[in-house]
A and B are shown apart, each in its own frame.
Chain A
Amino acid sequence: MTIDLKTVKKISKLARISVDDEKAKKLESDLNSIFKFIEKLNQLDTSKTEPLTSVVDANLQLRKDEVKSQNIRDQILKNSPDENKDFFVVPKVVE
C-alpha cells in the first residue's frame, strides 16, 4: 500500500506537527520507501502468535501509594516556557 500526500497531511495533524507542501512531498517519498521495507513482515504467518509487549517476565512491582515529594511547585514550573511562575500558561482556549 502507498501513503499519499493526503495521508501525510492527516498524520501530521494527528502528530501535531505542521508540515508545508515541500516537506510533505519529501515525507511522502521517505515514508513510502520505509513502509515498503516494513511490508516484508507480511511474509510471516503470525495468526497463532501472541504479541510481545514486554521482554520482562516479572509482574510489575506494587508499592504503597504515599506522597514522597512535597512543595516542589517551583521545581516543576522552573522550565516552563512562559514567564508566569505560578501556573503553566497556554494561549486562550475559551472565548
Chain B
Amino acid sequence: MSNILDFTLVELVERIKKKDLSSKEVTKTYIERSKKSKKLNTYITEDFESALKKADNFDSKPDFDKKLPGIPIAVKDLFCTKNIRTTAGSKILENFVPTYESTVTNNIWNEGAILLGKLNCDEFAMGSSNETSFFGNVQSPVGEKLVPGGSSGGSASALAAKLTPSTIGTDTGGSIRQPASFTGIVGLKPTYGSCSRYGIVAFASSLDQAGPMTRDVKDCALLFSVISSYDSKDSTSINFKRDDYFKKLDKSIKGKKIGIPKEYRVDGMPKEIEDLWQKGINIAKDAGAEIVDVSLPNTNYALPTYYIVAPAEASSNLARYDGVKYGFRSEGKNLIDMYEKTRSEGFGNEVKRRIMIGTYVLSSGYYDAYYLKAQKVRRLIKNDFDEVYKKVDAILTPSTPSSAFKIGEKTNDPLSMYLNDIFTVPINLAGLPAISIPAGHDQKGYPLGLQIIGKAFDEQNILNIAYSLEQEIKFKNKMNDWWL
C-alpha cells in the first residue's frame, strides 16, 4: 500500500483506529522506504527490528484510546533513549547508550508511538545546515547537494522524504523552524518551559526547547499536545493546565490582530521573500485578521546577543565531556593532558569554536563587557515583544532570509552561516512560541516558510493562525524522489 506514505499523522491515527491499517503495515512501509533512502544520510541509528516487534505487539493487543496508536516515529538524536545509542551527532558520544529516557520521548511512547530510529543533526545542535555532524552531512530531499537546514536537519529531511510520518526536533536559535522552512514542512518551537528538557542533550539551557516537526498544522497540534507536559525533573518546566491543542484547533481568525515588524525587512532580502511575506499578509487579511504595523527596535542586536549567551551556556554545559564519566576518551600523559586531548579529538570544529567563544565571554575581566552586556540586551529584546503584544495577538514574519543553499557553500564562513537564524533567534531569546509553515517556492523551486510568533503559552493561537493560512496557501512539495 504505497499511499500509507501519503497519509498525514492524523489520517494514519484515524485509519489505525478504524482498523483499516495495522501498525505493522505502517511501520513496515516506513522502514522499507527508509532503507532505500540511505543517500540522504538521515539516520544515525536505526531501530527497525525492534520497531517491527513493537508494531506486532501493538497489533496483537491494540489500545485505540492512545493518541498515537502504533505510529512509528523517528526522532532527533539529541533525545536520550533508554538502551538506544544517543550521539548528539558527536564523536564524543559515539558509543553513549543512555540508561534513561527523555521526558518528551517518554510522552510519545506512552501514547502508543514506536521508535524507528535516531536522526542525524548538527553536532550538539550547533549548526544551520547539518554539516557539523560527526556522522556526515544530510542531504535534502528537495534537491541533490542541497542542505536541509539545521540543526534538526536529519529530522526535516526524513520527514520531507517520507521516512517518518512526523518527528521531534529541538530549537535553540531556529533549529526546528529553519530546516522546516528549507524542506517545506511545519515546525513548532514551543514557549520555554512548555516541553521538558529532561534527557535532552543540553546545548544552551535557557534557550533549548523540543518541538514537533510535521507535514501539516493539524499533525503539529496533535503531536504538540502529546509532548508538552509539566515535569518536576526539569526545574524550568512550567506547571499549568495544558489544553488539548488538537481538539481546539480552529481556523477562524476573524478579528485577530497580527503585527508586521518593520525591522524584519532587512537589507538585501531577496524579493521572493518579500513577496512571500506580502502573500501571507494578504491571506491573513482576507481571512478577517487585522494587520498592524509594529516595531521591534532591537531586532538587529538579537544575533550578537545570541552568539554570547548560547556559547556561554554551551561552554558550561559541555564541560561535562571530560573523558571520565562517559563518552570518548583519548589517553594522555596526565589528567589535564587527557582532558585536553579528549576534548580536542572528541569535539568537531564548530563545537570547539563555540566553546572557545563561551569560555572567553565568561572569563575573568570579560564577563561584564560581554556576558552581562548580552543579558541586558536580552532584556531589551524581550521588552520589545512585551510592548508589541499590548497591541497585537501574534506576529507574522518570514522564517528565513533565504531558501536552502548548497552543501559547502557557507562552511568556511561561520558568520554567514549564523546569519541564517536572523529571524528565528530573537524568539528564543524572549522565550516565545513560534511556528514555521511552508508558504511557497522560490524561482529554483525550493520551499520558503512563514513564521508566526505568539505570546508566551499562546501556542493555540499561533496554531490556529497557521491552520487558517495553510488552508489558503495549499502548499505542495515539489519533490521528485531524486535519491531513490
Residues of A within 8 A of B (CB): 3, 7-8, 11-12, 14-19, 27, 30-31, 33-34, 37-44, 46, 49-56, 58, 60-61, 63, 72, 75-76, 78-82, 88, 90-93
Asked if B327 and A81 sit within 8 Å, CB to CB, the answer is yes
Q: Does B352 contact A (CB under 8 A)?
A: yes
For the complex, would chain A's binding face be called helix, strand, loop or mixed by DSSP majority? Answer: loop
| CB within 8 Å for A79 and B379 given contacts A16-B336, A90-B338 | no
Asked if A40 and B304 sit within 8 Å, CB to CB, the answer is yes
Contacts A37-B307, A78-B99 known; list 8 others, CB within 8 Å. A11-B360, A15-B359, A18-B340, A18-B344, A39-B304, A61-B235, A79-B95, A79-B327
Q: Which of B195-210 contact A (CB under 8 A)?
A: 206
Of A31, A51, A78, the residue contacting B357 (CB under 8 A) is A31
Specify which chain B residues have a CB less than 8 angstroms from the CB of A30 in the assembled complex: 353, 414
Asked if A27 and B379 sit within 8 Å, CB to CB, the answer is no
Specify which chain B residues have a CB less than 8 angstroms from the CB of A61 in the assembled complex: 232, 235, 239
Of A14, A31, A44, A81, the residue contacting B377 (CB under 8 A) is A44
Q: How far is the CA of A70 from the CA of B322 in the complex (A)?
A: 25
Asked if B192 and A55 sit within 8 Å, CB to CB, the answer is yes
Of A38, A43, A46, A79, the residue contacting B376 (CB under 8 A) is A46
Specify which chain B residues have a CB less than 8 angstroms from the CB of A27 in the assembled complex: 352-353, 356
CB distance from B111 to the nearest CB of A (A): 24
Q: How far is the CA of A40 from the CA of B299 in the complex (A)?
A: 12
For the complex, would chain B's binding face be called helix, strand, loop or mixed by DSSP majority? Answer: helix
24 residue pairs of the A-B complex, CB under 8 angstroms, read A14-B363, A16-B319, A19-B352, A31-B356, A31-B357, A33-B414, A39-B304, A41-B373, A49-B376, A51-B375, A52-B378, A53-B206, A53-B375, A55-B382, A55-B429, A56-B238, A80-B324, A81-B327, A81-B329, A82-B329, A88-B324, A91-B333, A91-B334, A92-B334
| CB within 8 Å for A90 and B324 given contacts A17-B347, A17-B352 | yes
Asked if A51 and B372 sit within 8 Å, CB to CB, the answer is yes
Q: How far is the CA of A40 from the CA of B97 in the complex (A)?
A: 43
Asked if B322 and A16 sit within 8 Å, CB to CB, the answer is yes
Specify which chain B residues have a CB less than 8 angstroms from the CB of A60 in the assembled complex: 235
Q: Which residue of B lies closest to A40 (CB)?
A: B304
Asked if A17 and B355 sit within 8 Å, CB to CB, the answer is yes
Q: Which residue of A lies closest to B431 (CB)?
A: A55
Asked if B360 and A41 sit within 8 Å, CB to CB, the answer is no
Specify which chain A residues have a CB less than 8 angstroms from the CB of B303 in the assembled complex: 37
Asked if A81 and B379 sit within 8 Å, CB to CB, the answer is no
Specify which chain B residues have a CB less than 8 angstroms from the CB of A78 in the assembled complex: 97, 99
Asked if A19 and B334 sit within 8 Å, CB to CB, the answer is no
Asked if B356 and A38 sit within 8 Å, CB to CB, the answer is no
| CB within 8 Å for A91 and B335 given contacts A31-B356, A46-B380 | yes
Specify which chain B residues have a CB less than 8 angstroms from the CB of A11 in the assembled complex: 356, 359-360, 363
Q: Does B323 contact A (CB under 8 A)?
A: yes
Of A31, A63, A72, A90, the residue contacting B232 (CB under 8 A) is A63
CB distance from B171 to the nearest CB of A (A): 14
Specify which chain B residues have a CB less than 8 angstroms from the CB of A44 in the assembled complex: 298, 301, 377, 380
Q: How far is the CA of A75 from the CA of B325 in the complex (A)?
A: 11
Specify which chain A residues have a CB less than 8 angstroms from the CB of B304 in the assembled complex: 37-41
Specify which chain A residues have a CB less than 8 angstroms from the CB of B415 in the assembled complex: 33-34, 37
